[in-house]
Each structure stands twice: as structure tokens, then as C-alpha cells.
Structure 1
């Protein structure tokens, strides 16, 4: 993932995902994000979640994301994401890949 504008995740952001049944949640941090959390559901290869984060400048932001789970040929997981801020203007796409 390329570095993003301030307040967004980038190459220095690390996620720790959890899954139980159709529930998903994660903690993340790194780059401009001091602390972030996401919570949502999984239906097949589709994740639907909301996220909230604290930035280095002390501000908070939140949004909604729908991701497609893709299994790579080496067994790692890739998330192809469509996201939109709910606390401010902006939306986009991103790709998150499991570290090897």
C-alpha cells in the first residue's frame, strides 16, 4: 500500500485482524494513525465494517469500508477495499496484504 494523505493508513500501518463466526474486528496503528479500531461482519469473501481512529495531531475520524477477501497464490490474504469517511469528506480504494 502506498502512503496516503495524513490521517489515512499507509505502508507503515499494521493491522491485527480477528474473526469469530461472521464477526470481524481489528486494531491498527502506524504512520499518522496512533490507534485505530474496526468492527463489522463477514459474509463469504465480503467484509463490511466501520472504523474509527486517533491521529498523531490528536484528532479523530471514522468511516465505513467494504472489502473483498482474496487468497493469493502463496496463501496470504489480500483485502481489496472501498472506503468512505463518515466524519469528513473523502472516499477511495486501497489494498491491504498479509505480511509474509
Structure 2
């Protein structure tokens, strides 16, 4: 199992579509006793939050965000946690919107 996510900062590797997270977005993760939560902001995101659980190297969470165009969005994500050769954390994510149509994949990596 990869190390704890508590206190680490992650960022997307590539930009998503407009109105979504992108390389300018930063996630600050917290982890306690199998519970995960994070705050995120940057790029097209004014404020976002996620909450969920971790079992081994699998994270399951829901997210809600406020975008710069004053709209909100919610969704569900399942991520696989791995540790890169340089010791940084990577999350390979499969997500789907719950507030609208759409789904996809993304990768976020620890920022040092």
C-alpha cells in the first residue's frame, strides 16, 4: 500500500475541458483511519471539496465544486493510489458527473 495522503498536495498532469480541474488546480489531501477529504482550488475552480474512503490503494469519493462562471457541479470518483519511482504519489482516477452528463479519466500527481 502506498503511503498516507495526509498533508500532500496533488495537481493534474494535463488540463481537462474548460470548467473542470486543470494543471492550475491544487488539491490538499487529508487522511485519517480510512477517511479521505480534500480542498481544491485553482484554474476554473473557485472552491472544491471531496470526501470519501480509502481501502488499501483504492479511494472512493464524491466531489462538489464552484467554478469561476458561478456554476456548481458534483460527481463521483474512484482512484488507484500508486507511488512513483521518485517517491511521489500518483492517483489514476475514473470519474463521472452526477449533476450532468459525462465521465472520464484523469491523473493527479504529488507536487513538491
Give TM class, smaller chain.
over 0.9
SS in 2 for 1:28: strand
Shift of 1:5: 1.2
Shift of 1:76: 0.6
Whether 1:71 aligns to 2:88 is no
SS in 2 for 1:73: coil
Report the TM-score, using the length of structure 2 for normalisation.
0.87
C-alpha distance in structure 1 between counterparts of 2:70 and 2:54, whole Å: 31
Report the TM-score, using the length of structure 1 for normalisation.
0.98
C-alpha distance in structure 1 between counterparts of 2:49 and 2:97, whole Å: 14
- Between 1 and 2, higher relative CO (CA 8 Å, sep ≥ 6) is seen in 2
C-alpha distance in structure 2 between counterparts of 1:82 and 1:64, whole Å: 9
Matches within 5 A, 1:21-100: 21-100=33-112
Q: Which runs of 4+ in 1 moved over 4 A?
A: none
Shift of 1:78: 0.1
